[in-house]
Structure 1
Amino acid sequence: MKALTHTDYQFPDQVSVYHGKVRDVYDIAGRTLVMVATDRISAFDVILPEGIPYKGQVLNQIAAKFLDATTDICPNWKQAAPDPMVTIGVRCQSFPVEMIVRGYLCGSAWRAYKSGVREICGVPIPDGMRENQRFEHPIVTPTTKAEIGTHDEDISKAEIIARGLMSPEDYEVVERYALALFERGTRIAAERGLILVDTKYEFGSHDGTIYLIDEIHTPDSSRYFYAEGYEERYAKGEPQRQLSKEFVREWLMEHGFQGKPGQRVPEMTPAIVSGISDRYIELYEHITGEPFVRHEGGDLIARIERNVKDYLQQKA
């Protein structure tokens, strides 16, 4: 299966297109967004040179399921998913902040903690914690939303408000939504034998209403541990079995790449690419409890164009 790494459509009433790290977002008449989840993969804010077959489908379908499963918590942008790799929805004015919710001390937070940091985004972290230890309560550690080629930066609630990135009132709503979504995601993950470790949410506004936008609880935006064996591994100080993009970051770091100037991405062999694809499919099946159906064969680009145009015509 060939990976889809770039799109360049011209849909009816299209006014612009934005090519993000992973998604290509088409603005239709300033009112509707067509979001194509490509098979691109990024790490350390760098788009890697090889696409991952089925990754876009995995991300899009997991996000669609969780968006549908959380509409009682907050409004979200999704209106339809007319193709396995496409979601169409309300065009919102996004807040330039990503809301990171952490239930456990690991990943970049652990690396900072290990170096001596005891406060992340204005949130104090107590002494004596260990890698992969559960926080007493989930914490919110926002970051700025980086452009391609630049890094997200930690930012506190106070800085967000002081810089006018959000009003105090909007921040309170967004933080409340983020924690409630994390609680729901934690419960769903537990039902599937997984632990939702940390995740990011993005929000925007439309006609005075705050919406959840973009993806939710996917392996690109979230980190999961297997619940079975967590306590034993934690007690022994062993790495946790996890389903997330962290394994890609770890592979890159093992080969001397962390996105720093002068570093080169290691060769992504067919075996590496296939292995990453398998891990994405594995997470899909664990988190949804459903077998993954590979939508393959034919021309991916033509199929997406046909399905999107059919939907837009029906809505016109």
Structure 2
Amino acid sequence: MSGLLALLDDVAAIAKVAAASVDDIGAAAVKAGSKTAGVLIDDAAVTPKYLHGFAPARELPIIWRIARGSLINKLVFLLPAALLMSSFAPWLIPPLLILGGSYLCFEGAEKIAHVFGIHSTGPGGPDGSHSVEDPLHLEEEKVKGAIKTDFILSAEIMTIALSVIDSDNIWMQGATLALVGVMVTLAVYGAVAVIVKMDDVGLWLSRVGRLSLTRAFGRGIVRFMPWLLTSLTVIGTAAMLWVGGSIIVHSLAQMGWPGPENSIHHLAVAFGGGQGFAEWGITAGIDFVLGLIWGLILIPVGVRIVGPVWAAIMPKSL
């Protein structure tokens, strides 16, 4: 009997450890996921453009195909690569974060430059810049283009998540990264599915609603959606520049150049008046400006060199 009680105590202890591990993984995943907010907003803002021109019946199947490709990107390719890097080359994490932050700055700055009439001269891609008459071929091209873009954003998400995981245990890192990958994919593409179908819901309500209030609500949704998409683009652009600038500044500090980060901190403290939110706002504003400046510098490099090379390489690898 005493042996059975001892066994039950051991089982209970193991269960407590397992539960604590699950809690730790969940907490780490939430913390890591929150650090990727700017990338997630950009992902949600970018994806709907790949659905432009398709019949409503094809929108959700296309979103599912892109989401499935995103999960494969994260769990099959990027997660093992991240774990190998963490185990054998952790010194690569800050440089890769700088590379990813630079990409965010470039994307954000390019969008702002486009608004002011400075158009990209890079080659057209599968996002609709080249017309394709065959609908099936067009869908394939759009899905491939979306998954390629997602690969870059997913790499940035997984690298950021890895950088904020406190544990050195490879199993803890792997479980946390896997949970982050699933969480952010569901969040992004679930949000995209809702966004792209809301106008259809609004149109349906405006036509078949029995009450005038219901029909008016449907018309309101239809009118609201273009504003929402525009707002997402603006917020996503601002988030890309702020997060990109922040990533670069923090990664430089990790690589032994803490000067920029310390200077920004001192300015935030000096002008923030001891208020936490004010200090955060000043820090984010400075990171945004630095990200915009760096992104504007990178535009010629990205458009004339990186873009053509990427377009030439990626179709062969996907």
Structure 1 length-normalised TM: 0.24
Higher relative contact order (CA 8 A, sep 6+): 2
Question: By percentage of residues, which structure has more strand?
Answer: 1
Larger Rg: 2
